[in-house]
Amino acid sequence: MAGGCESGGEIVVKCYTLGRSTMLGPIEINPDVMQGKLLIRNTRIPVELLLRNLAEGASFEDLLDAYPKLSTDDIRACLAYAADAVSHEAVLSLGSE
């Protein structure tokens, strides 16, 4: 494992850096590919696209049929990433009491 990944003192599982790209399991962030969007590794399939399709009612099978390079584990990784992303949100009240 070359490099490492930290987030506010919390451990990020399966995260490592290879040169200019960062991988989170099957999810890759590479600033040289699709403007640094989160992608499924070795594809140009954005995580955001898969999450939006799932939100609109697509099934795993629909996505697997539409994107032959995709695996069930890739889709699960997208859902896990989304869950982790929202679990670290903070809600701030801007109103006066």
What pLDDT band is residue 63 in, cutting at 50, 70 and 90?
Answer: very high
Answer yes or no: is 35 within a domain: yes
> What pLDDT is recorded for position 19?
52
Answer yes or no: is 59 within a domain: yes
What pLDDT band is residue 84 in, cutting at 50, 70 and 90?
Answer: confident
Query: Residues for the chain: how many in total?
Result: 97
Task: Tell me the three state secondary structure of residue 60.
Answer: helix
With a CB cutoff of 8 Å and minimum separation 6, the contacts of 79 are 51, 54
Q: Please, what's the b/e burial string for 43-73 (b: 16 or more CB within 10 A of its CB; e: otherwise)?
A: eebebebbbebbeeeeebeebeeebeebeee
Answer yes or no: is 9 within a domain: no
Helix (H) or strand (E) holding 24: strand 21-24
What's the CATH code of the domain at 75? Answer: 1.10.10.10
Tell me which residue range forms the domain holding 80: 27-85
Q: pLDDT digit string (tens) for 6-58?
A: 444 443 344 444 455 566 789 988 888 898 899 999 999 999 999 999 999 99
Answer yes or no: is 1 within a domain: no
pLDDT at 93 over 90: no
Total structural domains in the chain?
Answer: 1
Answer yes or no: is 54 within a domain: yes
